[in-house]
């Protein structure tokens, strides 16, 4: 039975990765139809769309009565994004130049990753806490939209590309539907595995979270190949901020999340990963290969810490 569950878990994660990748591509094309800038597309559209795996897994786990699984997946996904994913991208690119605009206006916002950790410190991420997280995301997204968007321009683009807008909307809706079905499969199998092995659900979520980061890794590598490193960087940063606020906010509204020692440890490590990434990207306005190696090492240390806590 354990091997069957592991096989189903792998199948579910593959479906999550493939369907979310298709959804992201469609949403990016829709964003182009709206006439949004590359900066807005990278941070708002792609960054938000990339959280679909975590969001789908979080909602399904909350509906199943185990929101702690979603919490573990989100904390684990954010840690992976800020360490091993960012590290792989930096090594692949031979170093990433970080524009001053990104450093000054985007990176400090990673401090939003500390907000859910602070809110769950009293033992629960309540529905009120979920509303606070959603409000924080909306305020942040609204600020970016005002700075980098134009409603009149978007309306004109939609009128000129109605056919593309309809086609991509159908593909996006279909792929998101498959994504949620796959997430339901992963959620159920993960719960069974945690019960069989007597692991905390949060820890199981943290361990399978790496699979949900595949869309960010794939998109960032593609951006580097096309000489748009800032696009990939915006995707990773946008994903982390959206997961820490909007995604966790939705999960908490569906089902309040009880805190635990494992959750607080994972949350603290997530904040530490945010600080480390910010320091590296601010140093010389460049994320070097050496710093990428350090980030990957930090993720491996995190995994060892999680596994040692279990055994």
- For 239-266, write each residue's pLDDT tens digit: 888 889 988 999 999 889 887 787 888 8
Higher pLDDT: 68 or 192? It is: 68
What's the pLDDT score for residue 132?
96
Please tell me the least confidently modeled range out of 35-49, 172-186, 228-242, 246-260: 35-49
Which residues sit opposite 124 in a β-bridge? 258
Beta carbons of 55 and 212 less than 8 angstroms apart: no
Residue 131 and residue 126: Cα distance in Å, rounded? 9
Residue 1 has pLDDT above 60, yes or no: no
What's the pLDDT score for residue 128?
95
Buried b (16+ CB within 10 A) or exposed e, 81-90: bbbbbbbbbb
Sign of CA dihedral 243, 249, 250, 252: positive
What's the pLDDT score for residue 151?
46
On whether the pTM is more than 0.85, the answer is no
Look at residues 76, 296, 79 and name the one whose alpha carbon lies nearest to residue 203: 76
Please tell me the least confidently modeled range out of 42-56, 66-80, 100-114, 273-287: 100-114
The domains located in the chain, with CATH, are 2-310 (1.20.1420.30)
Q: What is the mean pLDDT of the chain?
A: 76
Residue 213 has pLDDT above 80, yes or no: no
Region 86-97: what's the mean pLDDT? 83
Residue 57 and residue 63: Cα distance in Å, rounded? 10
Region 86-100: what's the mean pLDDT? 79
In this structure, what DSSP letter does residue 255 have? S
Look at residues 65, 5, 40, 61 and name the one whose alpha carbon lies nearest to residue 247: 61
pLDDT band at 159 (very low <50, low <70, confident <90, very high): low
53: left (phi over 0), alpha (psi -120 to 50) or beta: alpha
For 212, phi then psi, to 5°, come to -80, -10
What's the pLDDT score for residue 248?
92
What's the pLDDT score for residue 168?
77
């Amino acid at each position: 039975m354990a091997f069957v569950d592991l096989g189903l878990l792998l199948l579910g994660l593959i479906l999550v990765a493939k369907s979310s990748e298709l959804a992201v591509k469609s949403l990016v094309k829709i964003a182009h139809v709206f006439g949004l800038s590359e900066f807005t597309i990278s941070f708002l559209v792609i960054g938000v769309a990339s959280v679909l795996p975590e969001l789908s897994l979080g909602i399904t786990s909350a509906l199943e009565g185990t929101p702690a699984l979603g919490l573990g997946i989100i904390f684990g996904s954010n840690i992976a994004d800020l360490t091993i994913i960012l590290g792989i991208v930096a090594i692949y690119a031979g170093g990433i130049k970080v524009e001053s605009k990104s450093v000054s206006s985007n990176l400090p916002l990673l401090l939003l990753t500390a907000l859910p950790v602070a809110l769950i410190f009293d033992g629960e991420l309540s529905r009120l806490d979920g509303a606070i997280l959603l409000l924080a995301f909306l305020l942040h997204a609204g600020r970016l939209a005002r700075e980098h968007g134009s409603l009149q321009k978007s309306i004109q683009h939609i009128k000129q590309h109605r056919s593309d807008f309809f086609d991509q909307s159908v593909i996006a809706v279909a792929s998101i539907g498959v994504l949620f079905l796959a997430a339901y499969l992963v959620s159920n199998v993960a719960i069974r595995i945690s019960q069989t092995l007597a692991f905390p659900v949060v820890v199981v979520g943290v361990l399978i979270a790496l699979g949900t980061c595949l869309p960010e890794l794939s998109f960032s590598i593609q951006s580097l190949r096309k000489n748009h490193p800032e696009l990939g960087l915006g995707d990773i940063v946008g994903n982390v901020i959206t997961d820490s606020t909007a995604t966790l906010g939705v999960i908490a509204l569906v089902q309040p999340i009880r805190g635990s020692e494992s959750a607080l440890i994972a949350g603290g490590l997530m904040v530490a990963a945010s600080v480390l990434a910010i320091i590296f990207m601010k140093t010389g306005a460049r994320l070097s290969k050496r710093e990428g190696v350090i980030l990957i090492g930090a993720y491996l240390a995190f995994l060892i810490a999680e596994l040692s806590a279990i055994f």
